[in-house]
A and B are shown apart, each in its own frame.
Chain A
Amino acid sequence: MSVTARAPTEEAPLTVRDLSVHIEGAPVVDGVTLDVRAGETVALVGESGCGKSMTALAVMGLLPPAAHVDGGTIRINGSDTTRQAEHAMQRLRGDKIAMIFQEPVSSLNPLMRVGAQIVEALLSHRRIDQQAARRAAIEMIDRVGIPDPETRFRQYPFELSGGMCQRVMIAIALICEPAILIADEPTTALDVTIQAQILDLMRALTDETGTALLLITHDMGVVADMADRVAVMYAGRIVETAPARALFARQRHPYTRLLLGTIPKVEGQGRTLLPTIEGVVPDMRELPVGCRFHPRCPLAGPRCRQEAPPLAAAPDDPAHESACWFADRVGEIA
């Protein structure tokens, strides 16, 4: 991977610092800090309601009306978009930063030919003539692995399978060669053999173009397959972040460790009870004091109930950070 291919002084295409988003007083994203460097894939993982999609939407400037950014900065190619007007954000979206969603079929305009949708994405940001745009779109359809691009160009989304529609979404997202691509559960709605095709395609294209990929997913298998680095979210906060191999090899937050334990593995033992995490995700309007995971945590002590732990680096690995008072004891959890 080309994680360190660029000079370390060069700023990452996407840098998020201490981002907070509230919905009706609930801190759905709370102090999230995140960098995605050129050519790198960062996975943001967690369960429903942990704030991973809200983080992505905040970066895109596409938060729902009830949600507000009330702290932190989001820098895209060096400029802080939290201070920019909507029209400036519109110029960036689809050009410097693009996003693909979980439901490819409902993300496309059903009344517009797929080729026209790719052309539209290109013409809204580039001054080129129709013919050149058409040629670029057909070439892009070919690059995302859709056979017979000339024919597909003229078809409507309903004539394509779910996997094909996701390829079209990727074509739309990448036609302007964005510096950053956000993929929110891009393969969750697809069958597993189609998922494998789409993940391969995303890996090939981002390797080729050096696009920074922020991958939002709940699937630890997809994380293991794709990510250079991982950030695990729980109840609005990043609780652990590390290079992917380091995180899977050794966890420094109890939630990460327990979450990995609950996953049924195809090569594991059959007919055995799975480990579980006690309790439920907290209500974002009534968050526990101190560490937000403490009511479910086997290591929780008095300090955890009073003080929220900050993200801190592991003594032997500065790239491996976790927010736990007992990070060194996480390995004790069975």
Chain B
Amino acid sequence: MSGAVTGSGEALLRVEGLKVHFPIRGGVFGRPKRWVHAVDDVSLSIRTGETVALVGESGCGKTTTGQAVLGMTTPSAGRVLFDGVDVHAAQGDERRMIRRDIQIIFQDPFASLNPNMKVGESIAEPLLIHTDMSAAARRTEAESLLERVGLRASHYDRLPDQFSGGQRQRIVIARALALRPRLIVCDEPVSALDVSVRSQIMNLLMELQAEFGLAYLFISHDLSVVRHLSDSVAVMYLGHIVEEGPSEAVFFNPTHPYTEALLSAIPYPDPAYQATRRRIVLSGDLPDPSDPPAGCPFVSRCPIARGDCAAGPPALEPVAGAEPAHTVACFYRGKGGAAPAG
């Protein structure tokens, strides 16, 4: 089991041994023929005011993990605890508390706003559902949220199609803030935005975090964005966390061969430097998640794989000589001593 949180009392969110398996149905009675192991034994924890990033490529299970945190998908095994309350078992007041305290920001600001609803009403709607504020108070609150995210109070009565992508993402952020949540799941919040707009929204997210003491579960495929925003990082591959630790540790001392390849694959915006970098180009594609390789999930693409890597999945263990929070799931890396080179 990974993510053995020291002083677990302070964790706002704890994900313990989470598994999410989706059935592929077939045959006459629609019985599950196979299972897609979307998330396989993922553990992590987030403290108040902290940003934990989940990074990985399409199909690695990062979004499904985020959905399980939000209670949008049911785990096959494991638990998600928010402030000590099991997100998937909560009833009544506890359930309402969770619905208020965990919010989400999606990737596509065009698809996540109702095109026929005034943007101010979209922002005020959570207040209508979860509070007994008067209509006038809700409007005042929505207007002040619009201003807080860098728009104008007078934008309240406009429809989404009058805004650019970056402005819509600001509106989505304002809506997520309306109930003063404690945790926001950010699923690729800047991936659909232009470069110059992306930096504006990243800065806004960091400012709001400091102001409201927010915790972020930040889901992204973009390591350079993650590098800028996160305190700690979990790298996912095929449903497993293969490496995790403080952001500095993972970025400056990448230990898992996949993390290394992922970092080396990002082209650096400087041709002179880019020409001199050691790059690891992985061969092949991600394996079919309904038919994962036996043993280490990365074995089929790993440049240092050996025969015994197929024996069983490696556990997340502390990287030798690094800080204890830096863990890696590899039979050969992070052991100290004679680790094979790439």
Q: Which residues of A contact B (CB under 8 A)?
A: 47-48, 161-164, 191-197, 199-200, 218-225, 227, 244-245, 248-249, 258-260, 262-277, 280-281
Question: Does B134 reach chain A (CB closer than 8 Å)?
Answer: no
For A264, the chain B residues whose CB sits under 8 A away are 198-199, 202, 224-225, 227-228
Assembly CA distance A48 to B263 (angstroms): 26
For B271, the chain A residues whose CB sits under 8 A away are 223-225, 227, 244-245, 248
Assembly CA distance A162 to B265 (angstroms): 17
Decide: A266 and B266 in contact? CB cutoff 8 A.
yes
Assembly CA distance A262 to B269 (angstroms): 11
Decide: B199 and A193 in contact? CB cutoff 8 A.
no
Decide: A196 and B227 in contact? CB cutoff 8 A.
no
Decide: A270 and B266 in contact? CB cutoff 8 A.
no
State how many angstroms separate the Cβ of B188 from the closest Cβ of chain A.
13
Decide: A276 and B281 in contact? CB cutoff 8 A.
no
Assembly CA distance A259 to B195 (angstroms): 7
State how many angstroms separate the Cβ of A155 from the closest Cβ of chain B.
14
Task: Kindly identify which residue among A191, A200, A222 contacts B281, using a CB–CB cutoff of 8 Å.
Answer: A200
Decide: B221 and A193 in contact? CB cutoff 8 A.
no
Question: Does B268 reach chain A (CB closer than 8 Å)?
Answer: yes
Closest 10 CB pairs of A and B: A221-B267, A191-B57, A225-B267, A220-B269, A262-B199, A274-B199, A47-B194, A196-B265, A264-B228, A266-B224
For A221, the chain B residues whose CB sits under 8 A away are 266-269, 274
- Determine the residue in chain B with the shortest Cβ distance to A277: B196
Would you mind naming 11 contact pairs between A and B with Cβ atoms under 8 Å apart?
A: A194-B285, A196-B264, A197-B283, A221-B267, A223-B269, A248-B269, A266-B251, A271-B229, A274-B203, A280-B166, A281-B194
Decide: A199 and B269 in contact? CB cutoff 8 A.
no
- Determine the residue in chain A with the shortest Cβ distance to B55: A192
For A193, the chain B residues whose CB sits under 8 A away are 57, 261-262, 265, 281-282
State how many angstroms separate the Cβ of B140 from the closest Cβ of chain A.
27
Decide: B269 and A260 in contact? CB cutoff 8 A.
yes
State how many angstroms separate the Cβ of A89 from the closest Cβ of chain B.
31
Question: Does B157 reach chain A (CB closer than 8 Å)?
Answer: no
Assembly CA distance A218 to B272 (angstroms): 19
A265 and B229 in contact, given A192-B262, A218-B194, A259-B195 (Cβ under 8 angstroms): no
Assembly CA distance A281 to B167 (angstroms): 12
A276 and B199 in contact, given A224-B268, A265-B268, A265-B269 (Cβ under 8 angstroms): yes
- Determine the residue in chain B with the shortest Cβ distance to A245: B271
Assembly CA distance A219 to B268 (angstroms): 10
For B224, the chain A residues whose CB sits under 8 A away are 263-266, 268
Decide: B272 and A259 in contact? CB cutoff 8 A.
no
Decide: A274 and B228 in contact? CB cutoff 8 A.
yes
State how many angstroms separate the Cβ of A271 from the closest Cβ of chain B.
7
- Determine the residue in chain B with the shortest Cβ distance to A255: B196
For A220, the chain B residues whose CB sits under 8 A away are 195, 269
State how many angstroms separate the Cβ of B91 from the closest Cβ of chain A.
38
For A161, the chain B residues whose CB sits under 8 A away are 285-286
Assembly CA distance A239 to B274 (angstroms): 24
A271 and B206 in contact, given A193-B265, A222-B267, A224-B274 (Cβ under 8 angstroms): yes
Question: Does B99 reach chain A (CB closer than 8 Å)?
Answer: no
State how many angstroms separate the Cβ of B155 from the closest Cβ of chain A.
14
Decide: A192 and B221 in contact? CB cutoff 8 A.
yes
State how many angstroms separate the Cβ of A197 from the closest Cβ of chain B.
6
For B262, the chain A residues whose CB sits under 8 A away are 192-193
For A224, the chain B residues whose CB sits under 8 A away are 267-271, 273-274
Assembly CA distance A48 to B110 (angstroms): 15
Question: Does B230 reach chain A (CB closer than 8 Å)?
Answer: yes
Question: Does B73 reach chain A (CB closer than 8 Å)?
Answer: no
Task: Kindly identify which residue among A219, A259, A265 contacts B227, using a CB–CB cutoff of 8 Å.
Answer: A265
Task: Kindly identify which residue among B197, B269, B281 contacts A263, using a CB–CB cutoff of 8 Å.
Answer: B269
- Determine the residue in chain B with the shortest Cβ distance to A265: B224
For B270, the chain A residues whose CB sits under 8 A away are 224, 248
Question: Does B325 reach chain A (CB closer than 8 Å)?
Answer: no
- Binary per-residue interface labels of chain B (239-271) against chain A in the complex, 1 for a CB within 8 Å, 0 otherwise: 000000001100100000000011111111111
Interface residues of B in 253-309 (CB under 8 A from A): 261-274, 279, 281-283, 285-286
For A196, the chain B residues whose CB sits under 8 A away are 264-265, 267, 279, 281-282
Assembly CA distance A182 to B272 (angstroms): 24
Interface residues of B in 34-83 (CB under 8 A from A): 57-58
Decide: A259 and B196 in contact? CB cutoff 8 A.
yes
For A270, the chain B residues whose CB sits under 8 A away are 227-230, 247-248, 251
Question: Does B200 reach chain A (CB closer than 8 Å)?
Answer: yes
Assembly CA distance A245 to B202 (angstroms): 28
Decide: A275 and B199 in contact? CB cutoff 8 A.
yes
Told that A162-B58, A193-B282, A227-B271 touch, could you supply 15 new A-B pairs with CB distance under 8 A?
A: A163-B285, A191-B58, A192-B265, A221-B266, A221-B274, A223-B269, A245-B272, A263-B269, A264-B202, A264-B227, A268-B224, A268-B227, A270-B247, A270-B248, A274-B202
Decide: A262 and B198 in contact? CB cutoff 8 A.
yes
For A267, the chain B residues whose CB sits under 8 A away are 227, 251, 268
Decide: A219 and B267 in contact? CB cutoff 8 A.
yes
- Determine the residue in chain A with the shortest Cβ distance to B248: A270
Question: Does B164 reach chain A (CB closer than 8 Å)?
Answer: yes
Decide: A272 and B269 in contact? CB cutoff 8 A.
no
For A248, the chain B residues whose CB sits under 8 A away are 269-272
- Determine the residue in chain B with the shortest Cβ distance to A191: B57
For A277, the chain B residues whose CB sits under 8 A away are 196
